[in-house]
A and B are shown apart, each in its own frame.
Chain A
Amino acid sequence: MKREFASREDLRTYLVQEFPTAAARGENCSPIKGGQRAAETALDKIEPSRYGFTRNYLDGKVTRLSPYLRHGVLTLARVKDHAFAKVNDRLHAAKFVVELAWRDYWQRLYKQLGNRIWQDQEEPKTGLPSAAYADHLPEDVAKGQTGLACMDGFVEELKTTGYLHNHARMWFAAYLVHWRRVKWQAGARFFLTHLLDGDPASNNLSWQWVASTFAHKPYFFNRENLEKYTAGSYCKKCPQQGHCELEGSYEALEDRLFRIEIAS
């Protein structure tokens, strides 16, 4: 295949012709550029200590290194050493390094599981039978037309950039599996279509963690939590304001979403 291109747009046009079926699933390119040079620039910008206390916020000091780690442009070992070199005390880089370790952990599990990574690792802890969950992604979700500004915004960002903040991934996954009662595999496939860091290891096992097929309990959240970590950017403009289905205390939502029997 060709190696000379005048611009990113020139390359994109060429790839649309070469891979028409992939282009039919989304023919835009991401603002995140591939390659060693872009990876080195992103690596130089990391701030491991600030990452530790801002990482849950959508505007926090996250690194966006995952597409480069996924494809071996950067190695976990190199990023870890770089992070340690940027702090006086290694503990100041601890939260960042733990996230690198999660990737190593998922890779080790993938080696054991192979294609079984698509199967539930454990029974779900939601109290609901597997028949309660739909096989396919609902069309309004896929099109970003749920009416929830947050979820529709995440879908738009995913499709446009090929990237989502980790917290947004967790909220979206919890919404799809627990509120919409869709099998985690449908969401995992949707992410793999678009994420530049799409890797069945981190992706599928994180979906299973949210779904509780690889965790002691299901992960869920409420509107207040999402509002806090997004600085209200979605809630402020949401057409569902005042009657948001994500609203409620954790106790009330747990009752509404799950059928968990409390052991006496």
Chain B
Amino acid sequence: MSDSLLWLHPDCLSARNPALQKYPEQPALFVFDEEEIEAEAWSLKRIQFLYECLLEIPTEIRRGNVAEEIVRTALEAGARKVVTVESVNPRFAVHKKAIETRIPVEVVPAEPFVDFRGHLDLKRFSRYWKRVEPVVFNS
């Protein structure tokens, strides 16, 4: 019986990802999101690239409906929670919401590019970079 199920997604395909680092003994599952593959009309080479990443990570691989597969696997394993790495992809939020109706989800923060705390104006890159550049080069 596992305490947690690690939910891997296309933004965290490294064995060094922070969820696997935090819970190295817990089982992991990646589900190819068939809806996303069709919505973005992926060609096979994109799937092969992800698959090759997954083959270097200790994880089970499936395809289908992400939330359904994650929930079913977690409940069958008797897990108390699902653990994953944060992502800005809106599909991630949709899956997370669906999973959370059945089982709690812990989201581990991804390693930030820059440790910047405060408001960033994203209207143009130049405005963002004016604030971020000194932190990047001086830290």
Tally of chain B residues near chain A (CB < 8 A): 49
A201 to B88, CA, bound (A): 9
User: With an 8 A cutoff between CB atoms, is A162 at the interface?
Assistant: yes
Shortest Cβ distance from A193 into B: residue: B41
Contact bitstring A156-170, B, C-beta under 8 A = 1, else 0: 000100100000000
User: With an 8 A cutoff between CB atoms, is B90 at the interface?
Assistant: yes
Total A-B contacts with CB atoms under 8 angstroms apart: 168
Chain B residues with CB under 8 Å of chain A are 10-17, 32, 37-38, 40-53, 55-56, 61-63, 85, 88-90, 93, 110-114, 120, 122, 125, 128-129, 132-133, 136-137
Is the pair B44, A11 in contact by a Cβ cutoff of 8 Å? Answer: no
A103 to B112, CA, bound (A): 12
User: With an 8 A cutoff between CB atoms, is A102 at the interface?
Assistant: yes
- Partner of A35 from B41, B56, B110, B128 at Cβ < 8 Å: B56
Task: Identify which of B48, B132, B133 gathers the most chain A CB atoms within 10 Å of its CB.
Answer: B48
Shortest Cβ distance from B129 into A: residue: A101
User: With an 8 A cutoff between CB atoms, is A73 at the interface?
Assistant: yes
A193 to B110, CA, bound (A): 26
Is the pair A74, B44 in contact by a Cβ cutoff of 8 Å? Answer: no
A8 to B128, CA, bound (A): 41
Chain A residues with CB under 8 Å of chain B are 1, 3, 5, 8, 11-12, 15-16, 18-19, 21-23, 25-30, 32-39, 67, 71-78, 80, 90-91, 94, 97-98, 100-105, 107-112, 114-115, 159, 162, 189, 192-196, 198, 200-201
Additional A-B contacts beyond A194-B43, A198-B46 (9; CB < 8 A): A16-B44, A22-B46, A30-B45, A33-B49, A36-B14, A38-B52, A114-B93, A192-B42, A195-B46
Is the pair A194, B46 in contact by a Cβ cutoff of 8 Å? Answer: yes
